Amino acid sequence: MTLKILCLSNGHGEDAIAVQILHELQKYPLPPSLAALPIVGEGYAYTKVSRLSIIGPRQRMPSGGFIYMDRQQLWQDVKGGLLKMTFTQLKALKYWVSSETKLGHQVVIFAVGDIVPLLFAWLSGAPYAFLGTAKSEYLIRDETGKLPSKYWVESFQHWSGSVYFPWECWLMSRSKCRAVLARDDLTAQILRKKSIRAYYVGNPMMDGVEFSNSLLSIDHSDAEMQRQVTITLLPGSRSPEAYANWEIMIQAVVGLLETFPQQKFLFLGAIAPNLSLEPFITLLKSNHWQVEQEMRTDTQNSILQLPVDRPVPTFFSGKGSIQFPVKLTSQNKNASLILDRQAFPEFVHRGNLAIAMAGTATEQFVGLGKPAIAIPGNGPQFTSAFAEAQSRLLGISVTLVKHPREVADAVKSLLNDSQRLQLIAKNGVQRMGKPGAAQRIADFLMQLKWM
């Protein structure tokens, strides 16, 4: 009997996590047959998985999947065809389960994300496992006890005994739900107290930050490197929000340069591949940053070292598209800023700290044991509510400021407190886990007793 796994996910980040696990499943000598139903968005990440069929309709919604933060966004999605698409997806899901079962296959569902794929999995009628990426008990408690409630939702969660609502726990406790994979051990412990088959084998978010081939070859002495502070900039991946976030972040950068006029800084702008570099550079130039026109190879002591399989890079010259690393220098020459759309793993590894207005990227940075300073934006994703929830999720690793001009004081406080930095290093690993989770989850799914 052939094992057929249908993966359900609801968002770009969830799609990417699911794809990592599916790649590991395909490494088995006798791999399962794979299919996917991306509930939100176009599911582009799944096109990277060979021998995988995508079922059901796909459509990008106006909200980008952030309807739970904004009723207006929800209404825009409804007008954009959300309800019709959802019913069509459910119909396609049930048809797939029915037809594959009639063919004699062992059909199972692997849901990744939040209550939406979890509900779809239950409605399918097939056995299912759930990887909960959206919620953690750290949102309402830590190892020492419950956190103070700021909103009625948190008070309700404290009363019900879990960050997961009673209806979510009901879906996870069904007999068809063979396993719930929590994103951290604390969450798994709480769910098990509710008689839910919950396990923790790792958080696959940390599988996307390993790097081996360096794009940067730093041309500085060890002494100068010790004096330099390297700050990773994480503006998010959603357009046009990321461009608006960048404007806020540059205010923080300007404040840093004014506060520390003698300090050497290297800023690393980790730009999502789907975004254009031009708006980022245009704003920097308007703040008197100068683009370096000269291109040198690593044998000429450049700070830029590109893989040999990439075309000859071209720097921004005011015209045309920008595809490769761009280096800029501040007006006082004490700071450099490098932008790239393909160097995220290296940029998060090289940063001493991050200025962050992102979701998953911030969690990955913190998971490396490093501090992040978060500035709320105007959304639709990185709002004040989102940033506050993220600071609860990541604990001491995130410093939440209200205004970009407060970042300089936050940086000074962090760098002058070695004991706090040690606690942050430990906290990041504890809350986000170690790399290799995708393989461990794949092994878990293959060993799970589905029937």
Read off the pLDDT band of 397 (50, 70, 90).
very high
> Phi and psi dihedrals of 4, rounded to 5?
-115, 120
Asked whether the predicted pLDDT for residue 450 surpasses 80, the reply is yes
Mean pLDDT along residues 279-293: 91
pTM above 0.85, yes or no: no
Of 10, 174, 163, the closest CA to residue 82 belongs to: 10
Read off the pLDDT band of 305 (50, 70, 90).
very low
What angle (nearest 5°) sits at the alpha carbon of residue 397, between those of residues 186 and 270? 115
Integer Cα distance of 363 and 367 in angstroms: 6
Express each pLDDT in 417-439 by its tens digit: 999 999 999 999 999 999 999 99
The β-bridge relationship of strands 145-146 and 229-234 is: unpaired
The β-bridge relationship of strands 141-142 and 198-199 is: unpaired
Tokens (6 digits) for 300 = 């000429």
What per-residue confidence (pLDDT) applies to 446? Answer: 97
Residues 108/126, Cβ–Cβ less than 8 Å: yes
Express each pLDDT in 148-185 by its tens digit: 998 899 999 999 999 999 999 999 999 999 999 999 99
